[in-house]
Structure 1
Amino acid sequence: MTETETIAYDVVVLGAGPVGENVADRTRAAGLSTAVVESELVGGECSYWACMPSKALLRPAIARADARRVPGLGQSVQGPLDAAAVLAHRDYETSHWKDDGQVQWLEGVGADLYRGQGRLTGPRTVRVGDTVLTARHAVAVCTGSRAALPDLPGLADITPWTSREATSSQSVPGRLVVVGGGVVAVEMATAWQALGSRVTLLVRGKGLLPRMEPFAGELVAEALSEAGADVRTGTSVASVARADDGSVVVTTEGGERIETDEILFATGRAPRTDDIGLDTVGLEPGSWLDVDDSLRVTGTDWLYAVGDVNHRALLTHQGKYQARIAGAAIAARASGVPLLETDPWGAHAATADHHAVPQVVFTDPEAASVGLSLAEAEQAGHRVRAVDVDLASVAGAGLYADGYKGRARMVVDLEEEIVRGVTLVGPGVGELIHSATIAVAGRVPVSRLWHAVPSYPTISEVWLRLLEAYRG
């Protein structure tokens, strides 16, 4: 019979992805002893199956598209991508799915790593194998999310791609069906189309990127179609089956049959909370966890849920932001601070999750947004006005690419005279969104933005065009 070992820490972190790593970094910086539990690879989804590999696949596609639009250069880059080289670089960026470097970093901040499935067994207690970890101050759940697959006839028999397979495949499928219209769907459609797949995109809704301004999805869909992808909106999958030759047969609800070599379902995410012992502390296994702005789980004084698991913003950069807030809150409470800075924009409040969440979709063209869309602002009860500018009218855009196509929208609160949201679509706009994030998060008055002079000739001059259009 194996003897159980019990070890006490100030903080126990479940999950060693970017979020868990940052919680550990902040609590260790505050002098708290910290244990981190990881069942897979240290570095998490972002490092091995999401952000890093997907951008490694996308970067050559975007760079080639940009180069083709530059006079004097375009004719030199008309050939296909070197798929083997792209996949090899992707493998390099994922450290070949080995986490030695990330383990070294975690140990460098002074956190103790425990490998295995961590499960709560009661308040402030986590079991990993034959080891029981107790937390004097906090347990932070940072286990992230996984791809959610639909309940579809035949799905269990075909081994479909999810985001993990789409970012880690060692070969380029001749034909690829992508089901979904969100970020993962459009990014992977862009990447694999560029690498040589014949991509068919099946979208149940009316358009792509439904959480952004409508024009974002329209411009991305147009570009995908021009690149050779078959984009079909208003199309739902009824069933899938594996054919004798190994291909997948997709049947739509309209009765159409589509044959493909691989099928990617990018139809949503689910929290990875089904096997971490939530039931032992009165919470529902497999559920998203409700939190306050200090990321503490509702109804508890010791349990924190940080990153995807709280469903506030399923983005790595927002999860890391939350981790900094949670780490500061845990440290403050551990030191006996009687009143945390939980006012809006305080040190212990994840206020940006409500007001200034930025996102970049790395398609061609890129789509980037922060804050509220026009529809969201109106639904929230704000009296707003949307100002639109054709990005092709900006001098820097014409220099960036011949025939530049793009659009920008600024949503202005008419009562407070601040920017509630910004959406940019066009080549290279991903590098512009942080200036918009500062404007939204900082609640910078429009009158003050007028004095933030953009350099000429850059695409950033779109700010001047937006402000001019707003002033009339």
Structure 2
Amino acid sequence: MSTSSDTVTYDVIVIGAGPVGENVADRARAAGLTTAIVESELVGGDCSYWACVPSKALLRPAAALEAARSVGGAREAVARPRPDAAAVLARRDGFVSDWKDDGQVSWLESAGIELVRGHGRLAGPRRVDVTTPDGATRPMAARHAVAVCTGSAAVVPGLPGVEEARPWTPREATGAREVPGRLAVVGGGVVGAEMAAAWSALGSRVTLLMRGERPLPRMEPFAGDLVAEGLAARGVDVRPGASVTALRRPSPEGPVTLALEDGSELEADEVLFATGRRPRTADLGLETVGLESGSWLEVDDSLRVRGVAGGWLYCAGDVNRRALLTHQGKYQARIAGAAIAARARGEAATETPWGPYSATADHAAVPQVVFTEPEVASVGLTAEAAEGAGLRVRAVDYDLGSVSGAALFADGYRGRARMVVDEDRGRLVGATFVGPQAGELLHAATIAVVGEVALERLWHAVPSFPTVSEIWLRLLETYRG
């Protein structure tokens, strides 16, 4: 670190200290580069305090209870009809450290990464100005790279009465201190489906409103259908083809009324909008480097931002819109950190398929788990997406509940599996599993897709008996016919 006038210079500056920014900073510092990270909120970001961690903490107790109820012998020992809400919320609070980031800050210090508290903005090539909590401006400069890892924020539609209604965003949904008596969830994507599952399990009367025919519209249709059935079975009022046109909440402490497109109304104690994300770039100084303020940032496979002279600006995570998932953002961060370090050493950091400087998995091998009941796990392309990409594919389906390991896992196990095969290459390009604990099946499929493993080789990957992983044998047998 060195100073010039009032400007402090580092090798690398990272804006945003969520999991993505932390990983970029860690890789840069481990390579011997002086590194600073700028954060305006809590170190650890949305995932740690308002998204992945608290949402799974809310969902897991109900899933554990459901698992116990599905096995004879355990079922008889389970007395409560639902999880203890106060205990669940207390457990969630523990996982988010009561929204304090002391532990994350200690990790940064142990890694030799300097934390700068405040709002960071680009101020020209390789320059960042930070407005600190006391209102001062701290100018910084980077010798090699600046990495934007500011993530995304929830979009709340500008409907009549929306400000008066004070709707929840995903942050309020994962951080609520009490169980609402009635909750309206607008949006049938991953957040909407998971929060409908979580709060209904804790005793809220949930109505799920979605414009489409089923939840999870970007996944295989059968996945959304099974999730809709699962939510309905647990008391959620699932309403496809429903759009909100206006809201009103005359009293701050009173209920909120949603006007629907069909002319009907719905009253709830709280309303959650899970209707999309926007990049957190509106006040980032993008215009100082020739980019559009508030825009998503387009990057190459080494995560360098396109259209910026000199190749010094990088971007990883949600804000580049490749895959809005924490694990994918961290994957990008590892590659960005490696590329920054290599180029700082004067190396080429060549982008090659599956090489250390290429985030190619973002294109066609993205894994995702939706922690509803049943769980949904997918990787790669759906059958429709594969066909849209011009591939000649065959979708192979199998009843997951008929696998012997599934029958032993849970009485009345219900689920379905699909693999999507590129017929011209004999390779797996996508897979989807729906069922209790289906997420534990996913990594094998991810390896098969990423590794482009020939189906003939998969015959020699023998699944252990009696596990649910025997689904692989059944899918291959069905494919062979």
What TM-score, normalized by structure 2, do the two folds share? 0.96
Q: Could you tell me which of 283, 302, 309 is aligned with 2:312?
A: 302
Distance 2:434 2:20 in 1: 28
AA in 1 matched with 2:91: H
Partner residue, 2:141: 134
Partner residue, 1:437: 446
Distance 1:184 1:61 in 2: 17
Distance 2:425 2:8 in 1: 53
SS at match of 1:423: strand
Partner residue, 1:198: 205
Partner residue, 1:392: 401
SS at match of 1:63: helix
Q: Deviations over 1:165-184 (max 9, x none)?
A: 00000000000000000000
Is the counterpart of residue 214 in structure 1 residue 210 in structure 2?
no
Distance 1:341 1:442 in 2: 20
Aligned length: 469
Is the counterpart of residue 465 in structure 1 residue 474 in structure 2?
yes
SS at match of 2:334: helix
Partner residue, 2:384: 375
SS at match of 2:471: helix
Partner residue, 2:59: 58
Cα distance, 1:77 vs. partner?
A: 2.2
Partner residue, 2:430: 421
SS at match of 1:122: coil
* Structural RMSD (CA): 1.1
Q: Deviations over 1:294-338 (max 9, x none)?
A: 00000221101100000000000000000000001111111111x
Cα distance, 1:392 vs. partner?
A: 1.0
Q: Is the 8 A contact 1:4 1:132 kept in 2?
A: no
SS at match of 1:123: coil
Q: Is the 8 A contact 2:170 2:274 kept in 1?
A: yes
SS at match of 1:70: coil
Q: Deviations over 1:423-466 (max 9, x none)?
A: 00000111110111000011111111100000000000000000
Distance 1:149 1:409 in 2: 34
Q: Is the 8 A contact 1:389 1:407 kept in 2?
A: yes
Distance 1:75 1:152 in 2: 48
Distance 2:440 2:401 in 1: 17
Cα distance, 1:78 vs. partner?
A: 4.5
Distance 1:315 1:4 in 2: 40
Partner residue, 2:375: 366
Partner residue, 2:78: 77
Alignment of 1:324-335 (within 5 A): 324-335=334-345
Alignment of 1:11-410 (within 5 A): 11-79=12-80, 80-129=82-131, 130-244=137-251, 246-300=254-308, 301-337=311-347, 339-410=348-419
SS at match of 1:46: helix
Q: Which runs of 4+ in 1 moved over 6 A?
A: none
CA 316–237 in structure 1, closer or farther in 2 if over 3 Å, else same: same
Distance 1:111 1:276 in 2: 22
Is the counterpart of residue 455 in structure 1 residue 456 in structure 2?
no
AA in 2 matched with 1:281: V
AA in 1 matched with 2:125: P
| Structure 2 unaligned blocks of 5 or more | 132-136
SS at match of 1:58: helix
Cα distance, 1:243 vs. partner?
A: 3.7
Distance 1:341 1:39 in 2: 34
CA 78–34 in structure 1, closer or farther in 2 if over 3 Å, else same: same
Distance 2:6 2:62 in 1: 52
SS at match of 1:451: coil
SS at match of 2:129: strand
Cα distance, 1:159 vs. partner?
A: 1.1
Q: Which moved more, 1:273-282 or 1:241-250?
A: 241-250
Cα distance, 1:412 vs. partner?
A: 0.6
Q: Is the 8 A contact 1:124 1:138 kept in 2?
A: yes
Cα distance, 1:5 vs. partner?
A: 2.4
Cα distance, 1:163 vs. partner?
A: 0.3
Distance 1:125 1:437 in 2: 39
What TM-score, normalized by structure 1, do the two folds share? 0.98
Distance 1:307 1:200 in 2: 31
Q: Is the 8 A contact 1:243 1:249 kept in 2?
A: no
Q: Deviations over 1:138-158 (max 9, x none)?
A: 100000001011121100111
Q: Is the 8 A contact 1:68 1:78 kept in 2?
A: no
Distance 1:215 1:236 in 2: 23
